[in-house]
């Protein structure tokens, strides 16, 4: 438990983050795919920022935002009487920001690739906009959803800098696997570091392989 | 009657339509590309133009030029999509499947369908919604000649068996003469003619219906066969057409292109042309420097002849003259 506890925590964090990102990211991706507003590049840039920003910069701003004096942190404190920083909930919020582009972009691409007229056809067959989204756009974009889920899960699992800034290193609460590996190396416990690192390595390969293999099969059909 | 009233501006193009079309049969919307045919259809459906109820509340069926089926559903799922969302069940599903011969395709995946099959499924889906009006945007245009010929008989059946009014957009006069009962001619976003197919086709003053599009449709009843020809009974005379068409009491549509009709003062005796009809000159319209269109009355029906201005002068043709129309070629449309 001591060795694999952080791994389990990471999986939980990644699973919750992925779930939230798919549910909240899909409408955002849909809006981005459909909109013709001139603000689109602005929103797209904001969404894509976590890809290029150093995790420490992101972590720094999140720390301030989620801290007891910050806009979100103070509101959370009033609501739950607890702090967001150095807590699992805070990590979830931070991970959602950190992995946002990895969820939104594949879904947006899938929505943009929908054949012309397919939505119009659904409307003329009696489907409202919402109905057409769920009965046509989503099922036709399954590949995008799978990519989004896989990438956000894997990306969240691998985060380090943001977690360190926002979550610290509290066993069972914020001590995720990447932090644990860092700790093991610092204390020269190379055997433990090896075991966790190898597991992550294999996992990352397996997930990416599964996704690319699935993509290949789908595109052949 | 269905009132069409749409105004929409797209850059330089303005569509401004106000017309009434009958609420029975097939109404063709005919025009060149860029005349606004598709835009008009999209306005009727609510896909463009703004105002009015949202698309899904309008209860119109729409058949697109490209049959964009839903790939995540099989044929049955595609057909049921509209039925499940229909407000009423006026259309008999089995009849639609029967009419379009889809029974053997129901479990197929849509990627395995040919273009013609996919279009039949798209039509069935639109009909299953029990629409008050079906809109078809050149449903044959994306198909090659052979597939088109395969699909046309299904449209004949739709025409004969369906009680829903259809608006059919086309730029192909042959398709229009075969399928439509009424015709609306669109030019640069404006309606330049609307009425029954026979009346509109026999007008001489519509530039779009001059030249290679000029010609009329007649009704005649096939009565018997002789020498590999079919004899059609026509107002005080016969029309002979190569081929043996089933005889009976049902009149068929004959299409006669204006370029296949010539005019003679005397009944030509020594000629290879089989069909010579006694007629009266009704109207002569100068098309350009060389050519004129002449409308000839044969009983209560009309013929168009494309002749040269020189021949009009040489024969001193005038309105009311009794002449003979020679039909070089007649095609049975249906």
Q: Would you state the pLDDT for residue A118?
A: 94
pLDDT in tens, chain A (221 residues): 477 888 888 999 999 999 999 999 999 999 999 998 999 999 999 999 999 999 989 999 999 998 888 888 888 888 888 888 888 888 999 999 999 999 999 999 999 999 989 999 999 999 999 999 999 999 999 999 999 999 999 999 888 888 888 888 888 888 888 889 998 999 999 998 999 999 889 988 998 898 888 888 877 65
Q: Which two tokens stand for residue B176?
A: 């229009």
B213-221+254-332 folds as: OB fold (Dihydrolipoamide Acetyltransferase, E2P) (2.40.50)
Beta bridge partners of B285: B293
- Looking at chain A, the whole-number percentage of residues with pLDDT higher than 90 is 54
CB-based contact B85 A131, cutoff 8 Å = yes
Query: How far apart are the C-alpha atoms of B154 and B169, rounded to whole Å?
Result: 17
CB-CB: which of B68, B86, B111 is closest to A121? B68
Q: Is B72's CB within 8 Å of A139's CB? A: yes
Half-sphere CA count of B322, side-chain side, radius 13 A: 4
Give CA B183 to chain center in angstroms: 7
The vertex-A20 CA angle with A19 and A23, nearest 5°, equals: 85
Residue B89 has pLDDT above 90, yes or no: no
Three-state DSSP at B253 gives strand
Contacts of A136 in chain B (CB under 8 A): 70, 72
Taking only the tens place, the pLDDT of each residue in B103-126 is 999 999 999 999 889 999 999 999
| Inter-chain CB proximity A124 and B45 less than 8 Å | yes
Residue B61 touches chain A, beta carbons under 8 Å: yes
CATH assignment of A5-220, given 3.90.1410.10, 3.50.50.60, 3.40.50.300, 1.10.3720.10? 1.10.3720.10
What ipTM describes this predicted complex? 0.86
Are the C-beta atoms of B283 and B306 separated by less than 8 Å? no
User: Rounded to a whole number, what is the distance in Å from the CA of B85 to chain A's nearest CA?
Assistant: 5
Identify which of A213, A215, A208, A209 has the alpha carbon closest to the alpha carbon of residue A142. Answer: A215
For B2-201, which CATH superfamily applies? P-loop containing nucleotide triphosphate hydrolases (3.40.50.300)
Say yes or no for a CB contact (<8 Å) between A123 and B55.
Answer: yes
Stated pTM of the model: 0.85
The residues spanned by each domain of chain A are 5-220
Nearest Cα neighbor of B263 from B204, B318, B331 is B318
Element (H, E) at B278: strand B275-286
Residue from B39, B41, B58, B72 whose CB has the most chain A CBs within 10 Å, to mutate: B72
pLDDT digits (tens, 9 = 90+) for A67-118: 888 888 888 888 888 888 888 888 999 999 999 999 999 999 999 999 989 9
Mean pLDDT across B124-150: 90
CA dihedral B314, B319, B320, B324 (to 10 degrees): 50
What residues does each domain of chain B span?
2-201, 213-221+254-332
In sequence order, the 6+-apart residues with CB closer than 8 A to the CB of A180 are A6, A7, A196
pLDDT, mean over chain B? 90
Q: Is A218 on the interface with B (CB under 8 A)?
A: no
Q: Do B66 and A117 touch (CB under 8 A)?
A: yes
A116 touches chain B (CB under 8 A): yes
Residues of A in contact with B167 (CB under 8 A): none
Q: B68 vs A127: CB contact, 8 Å cut-off?
A: no
DSSP annotation string for B94-108: HHHHHHTT-GGGTTS
> B28 or B88: which carries more pLDDT confidence?
B28
Q: Would you tell me which residues 118-147 of chain A have a C-beta closer than 8 angstroms to some C-beta of chain B?
A: 118, 120-129, 131, 135-136, 139-140, 142
Asked if B214 and B305 touch (Cβ cutoff 8 Å), the reply is no
Residues 81-110 of B with CB under 8 A from A: 81-82, 85-87
Q: Which two tokens stand for residue A170?
A: 């509290």
Report angle CA A18, A21, A27 to the nearest 5 degrees: 145
pLDDT tens digits for range B280-295: 999 999 999 999 999 9
Q: A135 to chain B, minimum CA–CA distance in Å? A: 9
The string of DSSP letters for B172-224 reads: -HHHHHHH-SEEEEEETTEEEEEEEHHHHHT-SS-GGGSGGG-EEEEEEEEEE
**pLDDT tops 80 at residue B236:** no
Q: Is A169 helix (H, G, I), strand (E, B) or coil?
A: coil
Of A153, A209, A151, the C-alpha closest to A11 is A153
């Amino acid at each position: 438990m001591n060795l694999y506890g952080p791994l389990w925590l990471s999986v939980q964090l990644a699973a919750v983050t992925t779930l939230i990102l798919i549910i909240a990211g899909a409408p955002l991706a849909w809006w981005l795919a459909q909109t013709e507003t001139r603000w689109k590049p602005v929103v797209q840039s904001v969404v894509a920022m976590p890809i290029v920003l150093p995790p420490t910069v992101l972590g720094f701003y999140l720390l301030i935002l989620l801290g007891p004096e910050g806009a979100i942190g103070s509101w959370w404190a009033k609501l739950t009487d607890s702090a967001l920083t150095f807590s699992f909930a805070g990590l979830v919020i931070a991970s959602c920001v950190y992995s946002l582009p990895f969820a939104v972009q594949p879904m947006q691409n899938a929505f943009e690739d929908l054949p012309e007229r397919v939505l119009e056809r659904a409307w003329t067959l009696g489907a409202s906009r919402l109905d057409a989204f769920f009965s046509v756009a989503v099922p036709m974009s399954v590949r995008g959803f799978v990519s989004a889920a896989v990438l956000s899960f894997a990306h969240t699992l691998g985060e380090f800098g943001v977690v360190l800034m926002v979550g610290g290193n509290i066993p069972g609460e914020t001590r995720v696997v990447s932090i644990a590996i860092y700790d093991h190396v610092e204390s020269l416990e190379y055997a433990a570091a090896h075991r966790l690192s190898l597991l992550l390595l294999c996992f990352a390969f397996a997930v990416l392989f599964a996704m690319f293999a699935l993509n290949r099969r789908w595109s052949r059909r | 009657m269905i009132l069409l009233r749409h105004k929409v501006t797209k850059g330089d193009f303005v569509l401004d339509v106000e017309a009434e079309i009958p609420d029975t049969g097939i109404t063709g919307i005919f025009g060149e590309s860029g005349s606004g045919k598709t835009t008009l259809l999209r306005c009727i459906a609510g896909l463009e133009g703004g105002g009015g109820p949202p698309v899904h509340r309008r209860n119109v069926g729409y058949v697109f030029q490209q049959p964009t089926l839903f790939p995540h559903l099989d044929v049955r799922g595609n057909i049921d999509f509209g039925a499940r969302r229909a407000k009423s069940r006026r259309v008999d599903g089995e009849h639609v499947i029967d009419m379009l011969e889809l029974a053997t395709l129901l479990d197929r995946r849509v990627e395995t369908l040919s273009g013609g099959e996919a279009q039949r499924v798209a039509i069935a889906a639109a009909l299953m919604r029990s629409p008050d009006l079906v809109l078809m945007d050149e449903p044959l245009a994306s198909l090659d000649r052979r597939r088109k010929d395969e699909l046309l008989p299904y449209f004949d059946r739709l025409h004969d068996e369906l009680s829903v009014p259809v608006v059919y957009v086309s730029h192909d006069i042959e398709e229009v003469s075969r399928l439509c009962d009424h015709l609306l001619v669109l030019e640069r976003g404006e309606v330049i003619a609307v009425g029954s197919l026979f009346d509109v086709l026999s007008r001489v003053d519509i530039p779009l219906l001059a030249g290679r599009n000029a010609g009329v449709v007649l009704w005649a009843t096939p009565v018997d066969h002789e020498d590999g020809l079919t004899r059609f009974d026509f107002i005080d005379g016969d029309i002979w057409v190569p081929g043996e068409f089933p005889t009976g009491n049902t009149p068929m549509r004959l299409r006669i292109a204006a370029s296949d009709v010539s005019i003679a003062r005397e009944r030509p005796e020594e000629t290879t042309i089989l069909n010579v009809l006694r007629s009266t000159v009704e109207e002569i319209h100068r098309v350009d420097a060389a050519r004129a269109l002449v409308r000839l009355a044969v009983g209560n029906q009309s013929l168009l002849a494309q002749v040269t201005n020189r021949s009009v002068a040489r024969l001193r043709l005038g309105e009311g003259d009794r002449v003979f129309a020679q039909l070089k070629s007649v095609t049975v449309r249906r």
